[in-house]
Structure 1
């Protein structure tokens, strides 16, 4: 075995996706799985197709191309506003893109016309989290400027919440999105078939709200892969929360003082933590560091505590038996940890079925 190693249980991911697709369909809400955390990996894409996915969403055109090149024919949505430098590639590789800028949509129109392609767009509306989106009071004027562009079809409107400031989706915000959809249809005589109400953070709202809204789509990644909703970081009942784990090998194990000695400045990352003298401790070093994973997103086994990390070393303390050199320690991950270690070429990825 090679370490550090990310183990991905594809069966559990498939079951999570099937569960959410089924539950949300009872609310007339479709699920668009977000593949970015797995970098558009074809194995994961195929698992999601088996689970019932009808479209994928990703923020990187490279990930979308990776799936297409692997023979994945499922429709694809670029969920980050396209870069002007990539519009030609976007219209070739994606059926739909999320948009907030008129100049970008105009460029998509020209690129689509040149390629004799019709490209669908979803206009993102700002509902308070202050990431991407057109202000609600400007959405009608915005659409008036793009409604007649050739080779562009306005498929719907959407919103993103909880990513920047943790602003929660609720009945008020989803009702506003629905009212805007109704207003747009009345003003321009078009039908919007996608009203996308957010991401994993919108799941609890969708499952518990009794209000009737136009929201009929969610873009979901974290809940499918990790079993958690992102707003309060709580496990979603019915989902596996251990489909992905990260294992690392112990390379040193010693009894050491807890208090460093000598003249002290900043560490290699410009940090200077407050340290208390706790006497001697059972310390182990693992061959895993910040170059491999977002360490703050790791949860160690019971009886172990992550104390600090450097580029290549993870220092943990144990309250039970000291760890042995060569011993393997398995961690669970949050979204930030999964995203970072999937992006690291030093972490070996193993996909399996149970």
Structure 2
């Protein structure tokens, strides 16, 4: 089979999604499945829906369109706050969007009215991570303007933490968001369907808190796919951490010096490389590089060591492992590596459909098995 390739185990992804859905549901919190790391892959999306997740979120409209075209039966949330230039497409393809700019919301309202529909929005509130979000002091003014728009429905508020600034979601942050939601509901006589407290980083808060307050929603991606929380990347009990495996092929294997020789200058990426001289090593080259994947996010499954990488190659010290040309090497991936590998057109995505039959997918998509085989044929090559 072709390499490099990313092997995707749908059974493990579905298990993680079901387990997390049940875990958070025990305290009244619903899960939105985030598909951006898998580029809206319809196989993965169908596994999430079959696991009880009814809303899928993605940062890119092209991925939402991909899932809709494949027939995924779910509500779709645009995760990244909309571009002004994409307002019409947002209304067309996304049921809900996260928002922080009133000028964009007014543009969404314009196109929603033109299409005789209502577009649902969740207002993002800044809680300190300093990515997207309305400053709390400005929230009241924004809500007043939103409620004047006939084609916009305010369905919730949300916050994002531990993404840009690394700020932890804790009781103080979640209680503050809950109090804001409570104030909004009382002042404007509203019932907010979503009080979305964050993402996979909220696991530690969830496990330690006694009272989740009004937080009733989380947007989960990494914990579903990689089975870990995202503050310290510790594995979550009863979850699989190996649903994805990257496979690369050996294209050269020779006994060579460990220290490059000659006058040192910049490498291909403008860095001054530095190496330790440990004598001759089993120096092996793999047919995959930085143009394909974030190499720093790879962990070999065998006892070998990544020495470095260029655009098209990963160089490894095979140590005592005898790797021959044509043999395959497997890696676990962190979130950055998964994101880049799924995005790369040079890496084949191999979905293990033996563990997730066409019948399962057909049930989710409400299509017959023959149609499913046609839709997903390119992923089975």
SS in 2 for 1:105: helix
Pairwise CA distance, 1:325? 1.0
Structure 1 pair 312–212 and aligned structure 2 pair: CA distance change class (3 A): closer
Distance 1:161 1:294 in 2: 23
Residues 19-168 of structure 1: pairs in structure 2 closer than 5 A? 19-168=19-168
Distance 2:179 2:303 in 1: 52
Distance 2:207 2:23 in 1: 8
Comparing 187-196 with 1-10, greater Cα deviation is found at 187-196
Distance 1:18 1:286 in 2: 36
Matched, 1:260 2:260: yes
Residues 317-336 of structure 1: pairs in structure 2 closer than 5 A? 317-336=317-336
- Note if contact 2:250-2:324 (Cα within 8 Å) is conserved in structure 1: yes
Pairwise CA distance, 1:260? 1.2
Matched, 1:349 2:349: yes
* Unmatched tracts of structure 1, length 5 or more: none
- Note if contact 1:254-1:284 (Cα within 8 Å) is conserved in structure 2: yes
> Which residue of structure 1 lines up, in the alignment, with residue 248 of structure 2?
248
Matched, 1:310 2:296: no
SS in 2 for 1:329: strand
Distance 1:321 1:334 in 2: 24
Distance 2:40 2:212 in 1: 34
Distance 2:330 2:222 in 1: 20
> Which residue of structure 2 lines up, in the alignment, with residue 276 of structure 1?
276
- Note if contact 2:31-2:219 (Cα within 8 Å) is conserved in structure 1: yes
Distance 1:196 1:56 in 2: 14
Per-residue deviation, residues 29-73 of structure 1 (Å, max 9, x unmatched): 000000111111111111111111111000001100111111113
Deviation >6 Å, runs of 4+: none
> Which residue of structure 2 lines up, in the alignment, with residue 197 of structure 1?
197
Distance 2:315 2:10 in 1: 30
Distance 1:335 1:7 in 2: 15
- Note if contact 1:27-1:207 (Cα within 8 Å) is conserved in structure 2: no
- Note if contact 1:133-1:159 (Cα within 8 Å) is conserved in structure 2: yes
* Unmatched tracts of structure 2, length 5 or more: 356-381
Pairwise CA distance, 1:229? 1.1
Distance 2:179 2:141 in 1: 16
- Note if contact 1:289-1:310 (Cα within 8 Å) is conserved in structure 2: yes
- Note if contact 2:303-2:321 (Cα within 8 Å) is conserved in structure 1: no
Structure-1-length-normalised TM-score: 0.98
Pairwise CA distance, 1:167? 0.8
Pairwise CA distance, 1:247? 0.4
Distance 1:242 1:41 in 2: 18
Distance 1:80 1:212 in 2: 25
SS in 1 for 2:56: strand
- Note if contact 2:27-2:212 (Cα within 8 Å) is conserved in structure 1: no
> Which residue of structure 2 lines up, in the alignment, with residue 225 of structure 1?
225
Distance 2:65 2:321 in 1: 48
RMSD: 1.0
How many aligned positions are there? 354
SS in 1 for 2:292: coil
Structure-2-length-normalised TM-score: 0.91
Comparing 269-278 with 303-312, greater Cα deviation is found at 269-278
Pairwise CA distance, 1:207? 2.8
- Note if contact 1:126-1:135 (Cα within 8 Å) is conserved in structure 2: yes
Distance 1:318 1:71 in 2: 45
Distance 1:22 1:212 in 2: 16
Pairwise CA distance, 1:5? 0.9
Distance 1:267 1:15 in 2: 43
SS in 2 for 1:308: strand
